[in-house]
Structure 1
Amino acid sequence: MFGDMMGMMGKLKETQQKVEDTKKRLDTVLIDEASSDGKLKITLTANRTIKSIQVDDSLLNDKEELEDYLILTLNKAIEKATSVNEAELAAVAKEGMPDIPGMDMFK
Structure 2
Amino acid sequence: MKDIMGMMGKLKDMQAKMERMQEEIAELECEGTAGGGMVTVRLSGKGVMLGMHVDPSMFKEDDVEILEDLVVAAHNDAKGKVETLVAERTRELTAGLPIPPGMKLPF
Query: Identity over aligned residues, as a percent?
Result: 25
CA contact (8 A) 1:47 1:85 kept: no
Within a 5 Å distance, the mapping from 1:73-92 to structure 2 comes to: 73-92=74-93
Other-structure match for 1:55: 54
Partner of 2:69: 68
Q: How does 1:1-107 map to 2 (within 5 A)?
A: 2-61=1-60, 62-94=63-95, 97=97
The root-mean-square deviation of aligned C-alpha atoms, in Å, is: 2.1
1:53-107 CA distance string (max 9 Å, x none):
1112222323211110011111111111101001101211225x2xxxxx5998x
Moved over 3 A (4+): 103-106
Note the C-alpha offset of 1:21. Answer: 1.0
- How many residues are treated as equivalent by the alignment? 99
Q: Distance in 2 between matches of 1:45 and 1:78?
A: 9
Structure 1 residue 27 displacement after superposition: 1.6
Work out whether residues 31 and 78 of structure 2, in 8 Å CA contact, stay in contact via their aligned partners in 1: yes
Whole-Å Cα distance in 2 between the matches of residues 105 and 45 of structure 1?
A: 28
Partner-residue secondary structure (3-state), 1:37? coil
The whole-number CA distance in structure 2 between the counterparts of 1:104 and 1:14 is 15
User: Could you say if the C-alpha distance between residues 22 and 38 of structure 1 is closer, same or farther in structure 2, counting changes exceeding 3 Å?
Assistant: same
Q: Which amino acid aligns with 1:8?
A: M
1:31 to partner: Cα distance: 1.0
Unaligned runs of 5+ in 1: 98-102
Show the counterpart of 1:100: none
Measured in 1, the distance between the counterparts of 2:93 and 2:26 equals: 16
